[in-house]
Amino acid sequence: MSAADNKNSYYITDKEVSFKFDGKKYIGYEGDTIASALLRNNVRLVARSFKYHRPRGIYTCGIEEPNGIVQILNEHNEPNTRATVKQIYEGIRVSSQNRWPSLNLDIGSINNLLSPMFSAGFYYKTFMGPKGFWKRIYEPIIRRTAGLGKPPKEFRSKSIHQNHNVDIVIIGGGLSGLITARKLINTQYDVLLLEQDSFLGGILKNSKKIKKISNKEPNEWINETEKLIKDSKNIKILKNSLVTSYNFANHLIALEDKSVGKKIDNNKSELTLHKIRTTHTILANGHIERFISFRNNDLPGVMLAASFEKYIHRYGVVPETSPVIFTNNSTTDSLLKSLIDLGHKPAAYVDSRNKDKIGRKLLNYLEKNNIPFYINAEVEGCDGNKKIKTISIKKSNKIIKVKSSMLCISGGINPDIHLFTQSKGLVKWDDKLVTFKPDVSFQNTITLGSVSGNFNYEKTVEEINNKLSFLKTKNIKSNIELNDINNFNIKELWETKHEKKSNWSKSFIDLHNDVTTKDLKQAVKEGFDRIEHLKRFTTNSMGTDQGKISSINSLGIVSKILKKKISEVGTTTYRPPYAPLSFSAIAGRNTFEFYDPQRKTPIHNWHIENKAVFEDVGQWKRPWYFKKFEMESMHLAVQRESEQTRKTAGILDGSTLGKIEIKGKDALEFMNLMYTNAFTKMKPMSSRYALMLGEDGMIKDDGIVCKLNDKHFIVTTTSGGAPKVLADMEEYLQTEWPNLQVYVNSITEQFSTFNISGPKSRDIVSKVFTDVDFSNENFPFMTFKVFDYMDTEVRIMRASFTGELGYEIYITPNKALELWKKIFHFGKAYDLVPYGTETMHLLRAEKGYVVIGQETDGTVTPLDLNFNWMIGKKKKDFIGKRSLTRSDTSREDRKQLVGIIPLDKSEFIEEGQHVVECDRLPKRITAPVEYLGHVSSSYHSPNLNHCIAMAMIKGGNKLMGRKLFVSSTYGTKNIPVEVVSPVFIDPENKRLVS
C-alpha cells in the first residue's frame, strides 16, 4: 500500500527535479508542488501542529491547506509557505516548521498529553499573573514552542505594483470562467481574466467529472479557448494571480507570483500586486470541499477526497492505491471511478447516506467492482502512530476495523463565498445543498458556476447566458457531457460520535489552530454563544488558512449545540485578504530610501564634509550638530557651538524653513485674518514675528511675516508646518473668503536660507555684501533689504532666533553653496562656527523663545505664553479671535510659560518631568500626586554655566520667584527649583538691537 503514478495526468512532465525536505533529498517531477512530490515519495508526516505538536500530513491540494505549511530555506528563509501551492524546482530546500528537535521526534508534543490544560481560552485564562511573569517567563516559552515558522532574516523588496482599469474582471479560469470569456471574446468590453493556478481549466483538470464540452475532450477545449482568448483584442489573462481583496467601488487586489516553479532571481521582482478597478466583477472562483470531524481526523493520511482526486489527475500521483473513502455526498463518485479506471481498488467505501440517496446506480457500481461498502455508516475514528493504520467504521452500533494508510473524506462542498462577502454581498443558507450561497450582491457582482451554488455542471451555460443577458453579447451554445454517476445530493453531517479512548484522541474542528469540537462545546457552555465571540475565544478559523475547509462545519456544530438553524447562527465576517500575502508584496518598491522621500538642502554635502550629524525633521535632513573632531560628544559639540555663537558668530542652514508667498489685491486683509498680528500699520520692507491660531484659539504655527507692500507678503513657517499652513490658507481662501483676491504659493524650495548671528555677524556680512549698508540706523532690527548679488536677487532680513544680532539671508538654491562658502571665507577671521538644530534650540531657550510643538502641544493659547502683545486686539476678526475670550481660555489657572532653574546650580532638570509642590514622591503611589505642569525644554547653558528650563505650569504667571520641585528619573527625591522669567539672557534686548 503506497503511492502510484498516473501517467495520464494533465500537468506533470516526466522531467525529474531533485529537492530537499528537512535535509533529505527526494526526486519529483517538473510541475509538482512540494506536497505532490512528497506524496509521490510516500512522505506522509510533513508538519507538527500549532498547539499540541501532533503529527500532521498533507490534507488538501491547494490554497486551503491547514497542515502542510513549510519554510523555504533557499528563498531567504520564507516562512509559512503552503506545500500544496508552492512548486518545486531543481535545488529547492524546504523545511518543516514548528518542531524541535526534529519532525519525527518532537518534544513539544508533550503538549498533546497535557492537553486538558490547553482547552479553549487557555491563553486568556492561564497566563494572568504574577506581575512580570508574562514578559520574562510565559512569553519566551510560548514563543519557542508555539507559533509558525521563523521570520526571514532580512527584509527584501520583491514586488512591483500595477494598476488596471477594465470593464469586466473574471475571477477564476475554470469551466464557468472560460465559457464567460468565450462569450466576451471580441466584444466592446475590456476584460481581465484572473486565474490563481499556472494553467486554465479548474475542475476540468482537477477531476474527470466532465466528459466533453461541445463534443470536445476537456483538454482540447481548454487549449482552443486559451488560443481564442489570446488572439482576441479585448481579453487579457493573468495566471498565477490570486485575488486577495474585493473592496468598495469594485476595487480588487490580486497578487501575481512570477517565479512559480523557478528559482528566484534576486535582481527581478518576484511578485506583481495588481490593483484593479472594474465596472463589473464576475466571480467564477468555484468551491472548496469541507471535512468531517471524527476521532483523530488529523492523523497523517486523512485527506479531502476532491484533493486526492486532484493529485491523481493534475499531478499524476495516486497518493495511496487502496484508500478508504468516507463521504456524505455524491461528489466522491468521481474519485471512486478514477481509482477503478486506473486499476486501483479502494479498501472500503463508507457513506452516511441511505440507499435511496446514494442511488441504485452507484450501489451497482460498487457491487460490480467488488468494493466493500458500508451505507448508513460513519467513520468513528482512526488510529496509528504518525500515520493511519486502522480505520474504525461504525454501522448499526458495531465497529468494523479496516486497514489502510489513507482515508479520503468529503463533508460536502462550499461555494467559495469569501470574495463575495468581502464585497458586502449577502449570503443565504440552502437546505438542499447544506451550505451558504450568494444571495444579494451589494456591488456590480455576478457569481457563476459552483460559487453561486450551481453544482450541476450541465446547467453552467444556461446560467451564464441568463445572468449575463444585460451585456451586449451573443448567447453561447455549448453542450456539456458529464462523467458523473449522480447529480449532487448530500446528507448533513458535521461530526461523528466517538468513544473517548485516551487523552491522545481528539476530534478537530480547526486543524491549523488545533481547535477541537470539545473546545467549541466548552466555549458555548462558558457563554460564548455568539459566533464572532466563539471564534475569538477558541481561535477557531483564525489561522492563516482562515478555516477554509472547516468554518462552515463549526457553524453546523454550534447550531446543533444551540438548537438553532445555521442561518440563525450566521457566519463570521469575511475580511481581506483571502489568503496571506507578505508585507513585502504590499510595500512594493516603497521600501528603504523609496519609502519616504528625503529632502536635502543645497549645503548638504558641505555638512557631510564638515562632520555633521543629521537629524530628521519631517522629510528634511538637518544638521543636528557638527563634530569638530571624530571623538567629540554631542554635549561638547553643542556647548562649543553655543558659546562660540554668543562670543563671535555662528551660522545655521535654515533652508528647510517653510516659505510662502502671498500676493494679490486683498493680501493685507487676508493676512490680518490669518494671523493674530495687525499688519495694516506695518511699514513696507519690514518684518514681524507672527502667530497663527486655530479657530479654537490654540497656537498652530509661528513665523516671520515680511511685508513688501500691501499686496505682497512673504511668510516663513516652521520646517514641519509649511504644507499644513499653505493648505489652511488655501482652504480659507476657497471656502470662507472666496471674495478675496489673493494667491498663495509655496516658495520653500525656491530660496535657501542662512541664519547668521552673534556679535560679529555684522562684520562678516559687511565683508561679503560690500555694497550694502548694515549700520544700525540704515538696517534696523526687523527690516529687510532686497538687492542684486552674484547675478541673482538676494534678500537679507535682520532677525534673530538666538537673541544676538543676526541676519537671515535668502538666495536662490543654485547659488547657495557658493555664498555659504564665501561667508566662511570671510568668517574665518572671526571664528565663525556652523551650528545645528540642537544649538539652535539651546540658544533660543536661553533667550526664552518658544518652539511651536515643544512648548506648545495644541492646547496652548498666545495668552498662555504671555504673547498678548502679538494680538491685534483692535482687529475686528482673525482666526481664533473669539476663542481667546472663551471661559476656558481666559481661566487664570491655565498652564502658563515660566522659566525654571535648579536651586543647586550643579543639578540638571530633565525634559518631560513633572513640576510639583512636594519635595519627594511617595515610595508607593496610592493616590494621584497633585502636579502643576511639565518641563517643556531643558538645556545646560554654556553661557550661564547651569541648567535652564522652560515649563508650562498652572497659574505660572503668579508663581514667579516661588520654590517648587521637579521630579527626576533617579529615585523619589525631587529637585528643588525656582520659578523665574523664561528669558535667561539679555532681557533688555540690548544685543538684539545693537
Partner 1 sequence: MILINCPYCGERDQSEFSNGGEAHVARPENSENLNDKDWGQYVFYRDNPKGIFYERWVHSHGCRKWFNAVRNTSTDEILAIYKLNENPPSKESFINTLKTPSGEPKVGSGNFTVKK
Cell of 962: 516661588
Q: How far is CA 171 from CA 242, 249, 419, 466, in A?
A: 9, 16, 10, 18
Among the listed residues 113, 399, 608, 727, the single contact to partner 1 using CB under 8 A? 727
Site residues (CB under 8 A) for partner 1, limited to 174-233:
none
Nearest approach in angstroms of CB 286 to partner 1 is 19
| Binding-residue pattern over the window 470 to 499 for partner 1, x denoting contact by CB under 8 A | ------------------------------
Nearest approach in angstroms of CB 542 to partner 1 is 17
Report phi then psi at 842, rounded to 5. -65, -45
Interface with partner 1 includes 881 (CB under 8 A)?
Answer: yes
Burial letters for 180-210: b for 16+ Cβ neighbours within 10 Å, e otherwise? bbbbbbebebbbbbbbbbebbbbbbbbbbbb
| Binding-residue pattern over the window 738 to 757 for partner 1, x denoting contact by CB under 8 A | x-------------------
Bridge-partner residues for 303, per DSSP? 408
Bridge-partner residues for 237, per DSSP? 193
Give the side-chain half-sphere CA count within 13 A for 915. Answer: 31
d(CA 895, CA 885): 16
Report phi then psi at 862, rounded to 5. -60, -30
| Binding-residue pattern over the window 2 to 31 for partner 1, x denoting contact by CB under 8 A | ------------------------------
| Binding-residue pattern over the window 375 to 414 for partner 1, x denoting contact by CB under 8 A | ----------------------------------------
Residue 133 or 248 with smaller CB distance to partner 1: 248
d(CA 320, CA 194): 33
Interface with partner 1 includes 458 (CB under 8 A)?
Answer: no
Residue 275 or 962 with smaller CB distance to partner 1: 275
Residue 730 or 749 with smaller CB distance to partner 1: 730
Among the listed residues 266, 735, 770, 926, the single contact to partner 1 using CB under 8 A? 735
Cell of 384: 496509528
Q: How far is CA 595 from CA 253, 588, 935, 940, 982, in A?
A: 21, 10, 34, 37, 41
Among the listed residues 131, 136, 143, 249, the single contact to partner 1 using CB under 8 A? 249
Report phi then psi at 971, rounded to 5. 70, -170
Burial letters for 664-683: b for 16+ Cβ neighbours within 10 Å, e otherwise? bebbbbbbbbbbbbbbeebe
Stretch that binds partner 1, among 428-436, 511-519, 756-764, 940-948 (CB under 8 A): 428-436
Stretch that binds partner 1, among 492-500, 601-609, 643-651, 882-890 (CB under 8 A): 882-890
Alpha helices in 527-658 (DSSP H): 531-538, 551-562, 566-569, 583-587, 604-609, 634-647
**Angle, CA 401 vertex, CA 400 and CA 402 arms, to 5°:** 120
| Binding-residue pattern over the window 554 to 593 for partner 1, x denoting contact by CB under 8 A | -------------x--xxxxx-------------------
Interface with partner 1 includes 882 (CB under 8 A)?
Answer: yes
Interface with partner 1 includes 246 (CB under 8 A)?
Answer: no
Number of amino acids touching partner 1 (CB under 8 A): 38
Interface with partner 1 includes 277 (CB under 8 A)?
Answer: yes
Among the listed residues 246, 436, 713, 820, the single contact to partner 1 using CB under 8 A? 436
What's the CA dihedral at 324, 327, 333, 338 to 10 degrees?
A: -30
d(CA 193, CA 172): 7
Nearest approach in angstroms of CB 227 to partner 1 is 35
| Binding-residue pattern over the window 650 to 689 for partner 1, x denoting contact by CB under 8 A | ----------------------------------------
Residue 462 or 857 with smaller CB distance to partner 1: 857
Stretch that binds partner 1, among 306-314, 433-441, 462-470, 784-792 (CB under 8 A): 433-441
Q: How far is CA 287 from CA 202, 283, 305, 337, 543, in A?
A: 10, 11, 14, 21, 20
Among the listed residues 373, 429, 751, 769, the single contact to partner 1 using CB under 8 A? 429
- Counting every residue written for the chain, the total comes to 994
Nearest to 653 by CA among 628, 685, 633, 625: 625
Interface with partner 1 includes 431 (CB under 8 A)?
Answer: no
Nearest approach in angstroms of CB 538 to partner 1 is 19
Stretch that binds partner 1, among 347-355, 434-442, 911-919, 971-979 (CB under 8 A): 434-442
The residues, any chain, with a CB within 8 Å of residue 128's CB and separated by 6 or more, are none
Could you report how far apart the first and last alpha carbons of the chain are, in Å? 101
Report phi then psi at 39, rounded to 5. -65, -40
Whether 759 and 643 have beta carbons less than 8 Å apart is answered as: no
Interface with partner 1 includes 993 (CB under 8 A)?
Answer: no
Nearest approach in angstroms of CB 737 to partner 1 is 9
Interface with partner 1 includes 731 (CB under 8 A)?
Answer: yes
Site residues (CB under 8 A) for partner 1, limited to 908-927:
none
**CB-count burial class (<10 Å; 0-12, 13-18, 19+) for 930:** exposed
Site residues (CB under 8 A) for partner 1, limited to 693-712:
695-696
Interface with partner 1 includes 892 (CB under 8 A)?
Answer: no
Among the listed residues 442, 592, 743, 787, the single contact to partner 1 using CB under 8 A? 442
Among the listed residues 92, 204, 317, 427, the single contact to partner 1 using CB under 8 A? 427
Residue 423 or 473 with smaller CB distance to partner 1: 423
Classify the phi-psi angles of 292: left when phi > 0, otherwise alpha if psi is within -120 to 50, otherwise beta. beta
Q: Are strands 975-980 and 378-383 parallel, antiparallel or unpaired?
A: unpaired
The site for partner 1 (CB under 8 A) is made up of 247-249, 251, 277, 421, 424-429, 436, 439-440, 442, 567, 570-574, 695-696, 727, 730-731, 734-736, 738, 876-877, 881-883, 886-887
